[in-house]
Amino acid sequence: MLDDDLDDIHPLFHGAPSSASFKKLRKRIVRYTREAIEQYGMIERDARWLVCLSGGKDSYTLLAVLYELKWRGLLPVELLACNLDQGQPNFPATVLPEFLKKMSVPHRIEYQDTYSIVKDKVPAGRTYCALCSRLRRGNLYRIAREEGCSAVVLGHHRDDILETFFMNLFHGGRLATMPPKLVNEEKDLFVYRPLAHVAEEDCEKFAKAMNYPIIPCDLCGSQDGLQRQQVKQILDQWEKNSPGRRQVMFRSLMNIRPSHMLDPKIFDFVGLMRETGNFEENQADIPKLR
């Protein structure tokens, strides 16, 4: 898996630290990503994936690990990296193109000034994330279609998924999160999250060790008091008080028991019967509540 022959690696891994700790980290990220890809059925042979790059630590990790799997013959798909330049002020527009060219990664850089739209439409003091995300996603779907891609691949990791679950729980009144695999509303594209099992801490350590040129998000990152930041702080405190709590909570999202929840749309409570007695006959004697 690792680089016994230094000539036999993808350029994305040139200069990788030789320490045992980094090799362990890299193996773990690759293993978790491969598990998610297989577990959620992401591979369509000879498919083409649009791998979305923001320039953050997560998207760099995503790109590197997908190329690791492809380099090892474990991911039989074509990869096209894509960065959507959304027109944010002072965005270093040359960083990603230069990096991708240097790494010999096929890519497309698209400029769409969604920043001005978001600033114009969202009232002062409100968060930009929802509208920014919708505009970004719409453009990525368009690009995927233009490039003949069957899937849009995003860099959301385990902690993003867990935070979204709690945001929906605290603010949305529903049990839902970012799924590792879904089909868009138009039913013509998959959306994949191969880093679904990978911890944010591992992405940060990996990207930092590889010295990838990180680009901060000045739009969302400039706002204080975001719901996601509040949830992250809560989870950080829980993790501090009880190390490993995040992973335990994440595993619960993979171990759902509909019969032990309260949603009659996903479990037939009315039709639930004891092994003795005739439920339907007994039901006839029960008056309807008004």
**What is the CATH classification number for the domain harbouring 181?**
3.40.50.620
What integer pLDDT is reported at residue 83 of this predicted model? 94
| Average pLDDT of span 108-133 | 82
125-129, 136-140, 147-151, 229-233 — which one is most confidently predicted on average? Answer: 147-151
Number of other residues whose CB lies within 10 A of the CB of residue 275: 4
Closest CA to 178 of 78, 81, 40, 29: 40
Predicted confidence (pLDDT) per residue in 175-197, tens digit: 999 999 999 999 999 999 999 99
Query: What percentage of the chain exceeds 70 in pLDDT?
Result: 89
Q: How confident is the model at residue 3 (pLDDT cuts 50, 70, 90)?
A: very low
Please tell me the pTM assigned to this model.
Answer: 0.87
| Average pLDDT of span 259-268 | 95
CA dist 231 and 201 (Å) reads 16
CA dist 20 and 91 (Å) reads 36
Q: Does 102 reside within a domain?
A: yes
What integer pLDDT is reported at residue 68 of this predicted model? 94
Number of domains present in the structure of the chain: 1
Q: Does 284 reside within a domain?
A: no
What integer pLDDT is reported at residue 221 of this predicted model? 46
Q: Does 290 reside within a domain?
A: no
Which residues is 81 bridged to in the sheet?
Answer: 51, 107
Q: Does 281 reside within a domain?
A: no
Does 74 have pLDDT greater than 60?
yes
Q: Does 288 reside within a domain?
A: no
What integer pLDDT is reported at residue 116 of this predicted model? 85
Q: Does 275 reside within a domain?
A: no
Range of the domain at 194: 11-260
| Average pLDDT of span 274-287 | 65
| Average pLDDT of span 160-175 | 94
Q: Does 239 reside within a domain?
A: yes
Residue 132 is assigned to a ligand binding site: yes
What integer pLDDT is reported at residue 8 of this predicted model? 60
Q: Does 124 reside within a domain?
A: yes
| Average pLDDT of span 139-168 | 96
